[in-house]
Chains A and B, each alone.
Chain A
């Protein structure tokens, strides 16, 4: 069938042993469903997968080494590229870690603006999931509905920060003041564009409407249920063992949401529910994310009314030297727990920056869960974990 040369090329430098009658199928790194450059070397027997070895690192950019030669402000510009689907959320934990070490309190207005933008990032990320997951199962239409509304959310983020995916909006002590303003200027200047809050309310109405649309198209659909219910069940204790977090963990029955326990942003002053499901299968992970969009909309609408006026950034020295110390700050990213462990030795640059990226841990469960699954289920399960290669590879 395939010539010996072709067989060899697909098996170079891989630790999967070739045994007949199994076939080694190479999925990726370029593939419609692998969310980026992920390579899966699968040993399949007909349609059944015997085992899978994920090969990652195609997008490894060496963030941790790069961070050792950049000042904290420069790193802020880089980190929103880790999980590029929800760019703003990546910056939060880092800037809070720096603020903790430097002993600088961000201003109240900045905290609330950060909260609103974080929730918009969450909505944006989950809408991408809503569009790509049914697409992988074969339903082509929810993509257009979800991404249409996501454009509105991205327009909001762009209006406030200047960037759709890479806002680079956080500064130590707050958020970026508009042109001409700044922490060393006496005059405080404005920030959010005119009509931002009105636009946000409108966008949130549209997002809720599209959630209902997707509910109608996808949630009750018998075919979707046949493809996802009972598929890829991750029990709660396995999820904890592998470090799964975010919607993946909450769909397995463990109702842990960092927004209810750690308050690096003022989540204790808004009301929202934590979406939890008991089954741990792909359908539950989908339902939890749909619910989270609705909760995020709720948070944003409350937060709009609570944003105080005031300066956007606290007083910060021009060249920031962070005193010696080590701090770990984590945030509830759309995809899960995202944290930065910053080791400062008193200079302008960190001595070591360890990034706890969500999708790295989320993806590590793949060899365990894909044992003895069918090839179509592989796609369904991978999609339901909602990972992004930038997050996996850093």
Chain B
């Protein structure tokens, strides 16, 4: 599998992961359209690509690519153009550490979780840049809301992940999966391994998922976009390729967050009763199934609930999620030391 050259190896892995993830993003876009449609008693896309409309995201992407390149009159042109690329590249960079199998990871960093959360917070910068540089008051309000929201929800995300790190004893994502694969109890002749979700991280998982949806700026936390108030908030002035970048970035981030949650809490690429030597082949499928479940939940929430107001969002983050997450860490620490 390896060519011996580190650079070539890495390049191949990066290309494979990029291709897989970008196609995954298209699949998630299609899933969102179809699932949302069926929840609303309508068929959704059914024209592009035959009866199921599977080619709709592709068609949308191609349409966006051929749109006019608009930069608003008073906009800060360089910042305006740079913002989407910042968001997309930061999101793609998170896929470097996500393990799809014991050996199927671009680079298993020792600082996996740390690197992941740090890099994904660069997207906040991109959003702020977009809001400011658009020379539009709506964009500005959206950008400011985004700044406040994304920064506020970084903390619960981080703290929930820290509790998992404490329990696993390592920040490397591969290591976390292996910690969940360890035998927890032995019943008769069966060694039972339990994912962190059931090993005391139930609240942590809830906190992580809430914070993840907030980091993705999706309903119920989509104040920065708030379509019915700000006509797309910080994205208002973006069209064409740049909008596609933001759009793709959002769906890549959904996959990324879901994959991270699956790895931290649901056992990642590992599943019971799968022999070790098959994990490399079955791993991506197992992880894919878990990611699909979480993505479905995220989409489900989006189409069902209204959005929270900015101050209510902040209230929830600062007064509820962060104290809970801190308590969670303390409890995880106590259990780790005592047992």
A–B contact, 8 Å CB criterion (strictly below): yes
Residues of A near any B CB (own CB < 8 A)? 1-3, 5-6, 23, 25-26, 31-33, 46-47, 134-141, 143-145, 148, 217, 221, 223-224, 226-227, 374-379
Q: Are B39 and A141 in contact (CB under 8 A)?
A: yes
B141–A375 CB distance below 8 A? yes
Q: Is the CB of A139 within 8 A of B310?
A: no
Q: How large is the interface on B (under 10, 10 to 19, 20 to 34, 35 or more residues)?
A: 35 or more
Q: How far is the CA of A7 from the CA of B229 in the complex (A)?
A: 20
B231 touches A137 (CB 8 A): no
Give the 3 A-B CB pairs with smallest separation, nearest first.
A138-B307, A138-B306, A137-B306
* Least CB distance, B75 to chain A, in whole angstroms: 10
> Contact between A223 and B74 (Cβ–Cβ < 8 Å)?
no
> Separation in Å of the B274 CB from the closest CB of chain A?
38
Please, which residues of chain A bring their CB within 8 A of the CB of B36? 140
Q: How far is the CA of A212 from the CA of B42 in the complex (A)?
A: 20
- A33-B310 contact, Cβ under 8 Å, with A1-B140, A25-B137, A138-B305: no
A-side interface mostly: helix
Given contacts A32-B228, A226-B308, contact A140 B303 (CB under 8 A): yes
Most buried by A among B40, B138, B222, B312: B40
CB contact between A223 and one of B144, B226, B308 (< 8 Å): that residue: B308
Q: Are A379 and B228 in contact (CB under 8 A)?
A: yes
Q: What CA separation (Å) do A139 and B311 show in the bound complex?
A: 18
Q: Is B219 an interface residue (CB 8 A)?
A: yes
> In this complex, what residue of A is CB-closest to B311?
A374
Expressed in whole angstroms, the Cα–Cα distance for A1 and B223 within the complex equals 22
In the bound assembly, the distance between CA atoms of A183 and B222 in angstroms comes to 59
Q: In the complex, A375 Cα to B145 Cα: how many Å? A: 11
* Given the contacts A6-B74, A223-B306, A33 and B140 also touching, CB distance less than 8 Å: no
**A377 CB contacts on chain B under 8 angstroms:** 309
The answer to whether B306 and A227 have CB atoms under 8 Å apart is: yes
Chain A min CB distance to B312 (Å) = 6
B220 contacts across to A, CB distance below 8 A: 138, 223
16 contacts between A and B (CB under 8 A): A2-B136, A6-B135, A32-B227, A32-B231, A47-B310, A138-B306, A139-B306, A144-B42, A217-B304, A227-B308, A227-B309, A374-B311, A375-B229, A376-B226, A379-B228, A379-B229
Q: A224 and B135 in contact (CB under 8 A), knowing A140-B40, A145-B41?
A: no
Which residues of chain A are near B310, meaning CB under 8 Å?
47, 374, 376
- B306, A224: Cβ atoms closer than 8 Å: yes
Contacts of A134 in B (CB 8 A): 306
Complex CA gap A3/B134 in Å reads 12
Of chain B, the residue at the smallest CB distance from A31 is: B231
Give the residues in chain A near B231, CB-CB below 8 Å: 31-32
